[in-house]
Chain A
Amino acid sequence: MKYGGRFGQFGGFYVPEVLILALEEMEKAFYKYYKDKKFTTELDVLYHDYAGRPTPLYYATRFSELVGFKVYIKREDLLHGGAHKVNNCLGQGLLAKYMGKTKLIAETGAGQHGLATSMVGALFGMQTKIFMGTIDVERQSVNVHKMRLCGAEVIPVKGGTETLKDAINEALRYWTANVADTFYLFGTACGPHPYPTIVKHFQSCIGIEARAQCLEKMGKLPDIVTACVGGGSNAIGIFSAFVDDKNVKLIGVEPAGKGIKTGKHAAPLNAGKVGILHGTKMYLMQNKEGQILDTESISAGLDYPGVGPEHCLLKDTGRAQYVAVEDKDVLDIFDIFTKCEGILPALESSHSLAWVYSQKGKLPADTTVVVNLSGRGDKDVDIVERNRK
């Protein structure tokens, strides 16, 4: 491997020997193409014509009135597929195509990444397999149908907590046996190097657009940029453009599930310890001996015991702050925001909205906040209904 993929002490590539060659190939291909004229032109066209980029930065008038300061929404929910995941999938899918790979595999939690991978698999004519925990298959059945309609094979993963973590375990196992012709299209800015770097790169369009849109609409940079954090791809995508703007506060919002104190959450940056899982060193939910703990969150997309290594570094350096909100506040804001704006936010993205709402009356009226609305909530309507009972 040419680079170590380190973010301070975090990151790296802690994987079995059998996967090293594939990661090396991927690193080499990424650095060969990511600035290549032909590659970037092709990707830009796909971003524009297929995915629907650029996405608008919307001033949420009524929600702003409600909270008492100015809230702008980065509308990643309007993208094809309904979430920011398509940015990364088009980028990695195109990379797979340039590398001559013919098969895609991916893990998925909420199903958004699985769906985006399935779309891209159809687009590029690649055989696609999606690994998904059985619990997630059940709680995100609409997305499962959509994946199958795109021609993907959805493989339900039993064992463990039957959620995102286990889907990643199984995808990694499958990859070790099929490493020669299969491209593992990893969904978040986590996992072994070079994934955190690749995913961040392909998601950085969110931040680049948002920053320019702020300057255009507000004539200045925002005071706060906030995004939900599971693995952390949408957050690192928007944060990356603002990291050097020292006056812009970066707030990542983790899922506190039933409450940090109950232990039933998925907030490693708030309540985890440094450890190694899925190829990377990161903050991790684990017991004293290092066994990975079960996580809990109403949002399948954030239900993961680890978090991207760059977020770990941003936390340690203090450049970003990571807070956590509970399921009940997420459900409340889902209703409040939808009634206010007529926009259904994904339960994942609702976490950052819930944090914004928690600041009601606490921030000066001229404060400007950008929320990355990473996905739309259509997939979550049933879950919200069920939890209301």
Chain B
Amino acid sequence: MKTYKQTFAECRKASHSGLKRAALIPFFVIGDPDFDTSFEIIKAAIDAGVDILELGVAFSDPIADGPTIQKADIRALASGINIEKAKDLIRKIKSYKDIPIGLLMYYNLIYQYGTEKFFVDFARAGVNSVLIADLSIDDVDEIYAPARKAGLDTVFMVTPNTEIERAKKIAEKCTGFIYTVSLLGVTGGRDTLSDMIKPLISRLKSITDVPVCVGFGISTPQHAVELAKAGADGVIIGSRIVKIIEDNLNDKKSIPAKVKEFLSQIKEAIEAK
């Protein structure tokens, strides 16, 4: 199974004119807008050459998400997605291509499944890491050992208001990458890049070698390029892509091609920077 380490190493090798290439990481809610379309969309993303997939398991009360992802969660739940089906979709993706997959979800779903069992079962299905949006480094002991034992990498979030000593502690517990939140707020497309993110990347780069991937509000090829230039090891694009799904619900068949086209533009931009 392909690891984050291998992927980030490949990206470093793909550097040109002294700049490494940032990993392209799209985010999708599993089963949005329905199981089959979701699979087609994710395959199209893989075909566009993305490096890692960040996948959400829909939750009824996503407090860290803005309206776009909230609606995606509702669509996925309404189409009948559940934990077992999410696992099935992950297996199908992995048999299509061996690409690293990070889950991004809320704690209650994992807690109800049984934390240890969740990690074991999802590692087996092909997941590389599970990032829990509402579990901070203060409660790392509830998940770190079981995650590592199941063979998962760990990923935690750092935000622009995370103090430096705390960021060091977080970095020490991240074996996969640091999910670096670009702004203060919830997920959602933004027109401009937050002015907090470049200083945050520099701060993190000065304290750790763990790859720094940036998400929240990343919406355009220009954003991705700017972040790559600022030293980001990966760019995570969520709401902007999920919005393509939302805007084309009356013609679901057209969505995969549109998602592919958008991701190809981003990919091209970060490769040609």
Find out whether the CB atom of A289 lies under 8 angstroms from the CB atom of B109.
yes
- The one of A1, A18, A278, A284 that contacts B138, using a Cβ cutoff of 8 Å: A1
CB proximity to B under 8 Å, residues A172-186: 172-173, 176-180
> What is the number of residues of chain A that contact chain B, defined by CB distance less than 8 Å?
35
Q: Does any Cβ of A come within 8 Å of B181's Cβ?
A: yes
Find out whether the CB atom of B64 lies under 8 angstroms from the CB atom of A16.
yes
Interface of A is mostly: mixed
Rounded to whole angstroms, the CA-CA distance of A17 and B183 in the bound complex is 12
CB proximity to B under 8 Å, residues A38-85: none
CB contacts (< 8 Å) of A1 on chain B: these are: 138
* B-binding segment of A7-15, A132-140, A229-237: A7-15
Q: Does any Cβ of A come within 8 Å of B247's Cβ?
A: no
Q: Does any Cβ of A come within 8 Å of B133's Cβ?
A: yes
Q: Does any Cβ of B come within 8 Å of A288's Cβ?
A: yes
Q: Does any Cβ of A come within 8 Å of B112's Cβ?
A: yes
Find out whether the CB atom of B113 lies under 8 angstroms from the CB atom of A289.
yes
CB contacts (< 8 Å) of A20 on chain B: these are: 136, 138, 162, 166
Given contacts A172-B63, A179-B184, contact A275 B162 (CB under 8 A): no
Chain B interface extent, by class: 35 or more
Q: Does any Cβ of B come within 8 Å of A262's Cβ?
A: no
CB proximity to A under 8 Å, residues B83-121: 83, 106-113
Q: Which residue of A lies closest to B83 (CB)?
A: A289
What distance in Å separates the Cβ of B34 from its nearest Cβ neighbour in chain A? 18
Q: Does any Cβ of A come within 8 Å of B191's Cβ?
A: no
Rounded to whole angstroms, the CA-CA distance of A377 and B60 in the bound complex is 32
Q: Does any Cβ of A come within 8 Å of B254's Cβ?
A: no
CB proximity to B under 8 Å, residues A239-290: 273, 275-279, 284, 286, 288-290
* A-binding segment of B45-53, B151-159, B207-215, B229-237: B151-159
Find out whether the CB atom of A18 lies under 8 angstroms from the CB atom of B181.
yes
7 A–B pairs (Cβ distance < 8 Å), ordered by A? A160-B61, A173-B185, A273-B112, A276-B108, A290-B108, A290-B110, A290-B113
Q: Which 7 A-B pairs have the closest CB atoms?
A: A290-B112, A177-B185, A18-B159, A290-B108, A17-B157, A291-B60, A290-B109
Q: Which positions in A face B, CB cutoff 8 Å?
A: 1, 12-18, 20-21, 159-160, 165-166, 169, 172-173, 176-180, 273, 275-279, 284, 286, 288-292
